Structure 1
């Protein structure tokens, strides 16, 4: 069994989402003997943002610069890692109400027609990656729960839930550290809650 571990935070060892995603991976490794972990750090090794040149280069017989070819090859490796993984653990901090651009670049390489989604005879999208388990560690500086005044500004959990539903993963598990910058002691409290949830992850 393969587990793909993806992180997007630019904060390194100071990152809450990285701490929680790492704890989730360690818990699942303990629960699932022999699991193979594939690591992708989108902050230290970012994937190029998708451009018209990248798309044009995918056409049969198209010419492209060496840089575009290399970047498309890396995007292809990211897609293959996702396709081969049975479990995906993602560290996703909230930056300005949304996911980091590094994570969006990865998503743009993973949501590929004919690979992770398609369209039925009626024109409706059909997810092709529904046999995966996805666990997402989210960190948020403030409070953005459905019962808070800032709920309408939350575009990380809602976006990622939609992204994975689109490719067929209906039940995404979220480990959320909320309010980590909202006041003294709240970072530690939020981290304890999320780490506690990570510690209870099961093999299935």
Structure 2
């Protein structure tokens, strides 16, 4: 009798924990999903240059014939098809390497990618370096940190390579932070630009300041 009562209490406790556990969002962006970012840009090579900021809106505006989301917004225009959830909206490109939505991104994972179109076969490696807490719209999330670097085409004496750091949160269906540092041939930072997610609004929900 006592064992039965203990088993019943354990079952009730497990059910309560499951009910209280936060739901995990589908990482695949869906039509109607929207993000609000703050973008920054600073010319690091010019002493006293101000940091310019702006608000950037991004949305899934539909799907293509293969069911892949089409991203659009203030800096993307319309028509950027995405085959992965790892999208760099600052550079208007996917992270190379075709990492599928929902794929595990454990610390230590490394993958290779190349962009045979825009950057003419420039290759790069992506490294998952761990996780860090991030805050978006008053809530704290655990973000996967991804780092990479690559050459810039065409190279110039001032800009020869780009170093990037991404913070990805599946529950928010995107990057909460994107940082690009453009380096000269000596490795000194010339330009610094970033995007910080301020809010994610799932499809079907109204944003506080309108659609």
Q: Could you tell me the TM-score, scaled by structure 2's length?
A: 0.24
**Which is richer in strand?**
2
Give TM-score scaled by structure 1 length: 0.24
Please identify which structure carries the higher helix content.
1
